[in-house]
Structure 1
Amino acid sequence: MVPLHLGALHPIEQALTVVLAFGPFVVLGIVVAVMRRREALHGHDEHRGQD
């Protein structure tokens, strides 16, 4: 069975594909940046590395 190609994606579909593909990584980066900033402000860095 040969897969059928449905043609080019509509611009909205392209944008949705990009958001779904890269959006979680952008959100993760924002969360990491916010948490690092919060730890730096509250002085919790001294607890790091004491396993």
Structure 2
Amino acid sequence: MTPLHLGALHPVEQAATMVLAFGPFVVLGIVIALRKRAETRSGSSPERNDGE
């Protein structure tokens, strides 16, 4: 069975594909940057508790 080519994507479909493909990584980067900024502003660094 040969897959059928449906032609070029509509610009809205291209934008939706890009948002779905890269959006989660952009959001994750923003969250990490905001958390680091908040930790730096409060002056505390996350302390590890190794159970000792």
Please list every run of 5 or more consecutive structure 1 residues that lacks an aligned counterpart in the other structure.
none
Q: Does 1:26 align with 2:22?
A: no
TM-align CA RMSD: 1.5
Report how many aligned residue pairs link the two structures: 50
TM-score normalized with structure 1 length: 0.85
Percent identity for Structure 1 against Structure 2:
64
Q: 1:28 to 1:46 in 2, by over 3 A?
A: closer
Give 1:11 deviation, angstroms: 0.4
Q: Which runs of 4+ in 1 moved over 6 A?
A: none
What is the correspondence of 1:1-51 to structure 2 with a 5 Å cutoff? 1-45=1-45, 47=47, 51=50
Please list every run of 5 or more consecutive structure 2 residues that lacks an aligned counterpart in the other structure.
none
Greater share of helix: 1
